[in-house]
Amino acid sequence: MTTQDFYPVHKWIGDHFFEGHAWVYNGAATDVAFISGTTGKVYVCRARDMRPGKHAQSHVAIQHFDDEWKAMSSPRLLPITAADNSKLKMDTGPQDARIFIFRGDVWIVFNMLCADGFRRIHIYNVTGDHGRDVIPLRVDGSDRSKTEKNWTPFVFNNELFFIYYFAPLVILRCDVKTGFCRVVYSNSTERRPELRGGSPALQMADDRTHFFGYLHTTTFLPKRHEFEADELPIPAKATAHLYRARRFDLTFGKPGLPPKLRIGDEIAFTGKQIEQIYGIGLGGWGIVNVNDRQTVVKTPLVSPKKLEG
């Protein structure tokens, strides 16, 4: 296992773009070596502008690394236009981006507060030459919820899908040109709202019907608990929830058969309050966000193996 701390990257982003007044956290990354003419990895993270009068506006910062996690470029902010927050006086920028490869391009998916006060899922093509407009996603032509977050992307047969819920399992197929998403599978298992999306799901090299990734769980904590707020950095101390990761495996059988979903036990890396996995790589490495300050890559996180049963 190797560990690399991204705090120096986050500090550079805060100092360079926000005069040292920023929260930079929730990192994610993906391998790009299998895209023609590219090598290394692409890393994204959330940069929240905490300067007075900015209403905590969020941005997505992006940086290119080689296979050894040595910087190949300086971080930059993606030109994603958010709703006017001077009236909303809230964080209306892109939040908690996940990064994935689709049809030879690097994409991100994130939630963002819209001018109407509804929080919606959006996607953005980082590398494509055919336009880089932000694309809002809608389910079945209408909005399911006032707040949409934590959709889990995966690519199967050159089509883009999302796990909308884990329990009950609900899967969407989305058209990136229109943003229209349709439910293609749902079951009637008991609702478990604590199971939320984390990393994208990656296709296993030895079984193209098997995907794996990491979701996160949230558990409410009372005021007195094992993690003293003063011991935690901002913004981790601002939440009353415990965040943990779980591995999930999703497999597709023959046409007409329902997919199988397995969810593993909780994973605790350092025993602190916030530990989420937003990005994973082809070798099983994971980008782990610890306490919303330290973001590290650990290899291997959990060695991918063929699903049994």
Structure confidence at residue 306 (pLDDT): 41
Looking at residue 308, its pLDDT comes to 34
Q: For residues 290 and 236, what is the distance between their CA atoms, to the nearest angstrom?
A: 9
Q: Give the H/E segment covering residue 97.
A: strand 94-102
Average pLDDT of the chain?
Answer: 86
Let me know if residue 131 belongs to a domain.
yes
Task: Tell whether 306 is covered by a domain.
Answer: no
CA 268/CA 4 separation, integer angstroms: 18
Cβ neighbors of 76 (< 8 A, separation 6 or more) are: 61, 62, 63
Q: Which residue has the higher pLDDT, 224 or 110?
A: 110
User: How confident is the model over 215-230, as a mean pLDDT?
Assistant: 73
Q: C-alpha dihedral over 266, 272, 274, 278, to 10 degrees?
A: -60
Q: What is the pLDDT of residue 227?
A: 60
Considering the chain, what percentage of its residues have pLDDT values greater than 90? Answer: 58
Q: Determine the pLDDT at residue 28.
A: 96
Which whole number is the average pLDDT over 245-274? 89
Between 37 and 125, the more confident residue is 125
Predicted confidence band of residue 294 (pLDDT cuts 50, 70, 90): confident
Is 65 among the domain residues?
Answer: yes
Tokens 């782990």: give the residue. 288
Percent of the chain with pLDDT over 70: 88
Residue 309 clears pLDDT 60, i.e. is over it: no
- Which pLDDT belongs to residue 37? 73
Dihedral-angle region of residue 236 (phi above 0 means left; psi in -120 to 50 means alpha; beta otherwise)? alpha
Please say if the pLDDT value at position 233 is more than 50: yes
Residue 116 inside a domain? The answer is yes
- Res 147: pLDDT: 87
More confident residue, 74 or 272: 74
Mean per-residue pLDDT, 112-134? 84
Residue 69 is assigned to a structural domain of this protein: yes
Residue 304 resides in a domain: no
Tell me the average pLDDT across 87-106: 86
Using a cut of 0.85, tell me whether the model's pTM lies above it.
yes
How far is the C-alpha of 266 from the C-alpha of 219, rounded, in Å? 12
Q: What is the CATH number of the domain that holds 142?
A: 2.115.10
* Arithmetic mean of pLDDT, 42-55: 89
CA 91 to chain centre: 18
* Domain presence at residue 289: yes
Number of domains in the chain: 1
195 pLDDT band (50/70/90 cuts)?
Answer: very high
Please tell me which residue, 130 or 304, carries the higher pLDDT value.
Answer: 130
What was the pLDDT predicted at 301? 66
Q: What is the mean pLDDT of residues 16-22?
A: 95
Q: Considering only 2-11, 66-75, 83-92, 161-170, which range has the smallest mean pLDDT?
A: 83-92
Phi, psi dihedrals of residue 17, rounded to the nearest 5°? -100, -25
pLDDT of the residue at 144 = 63
| Residue 65 structural domain | 2-299
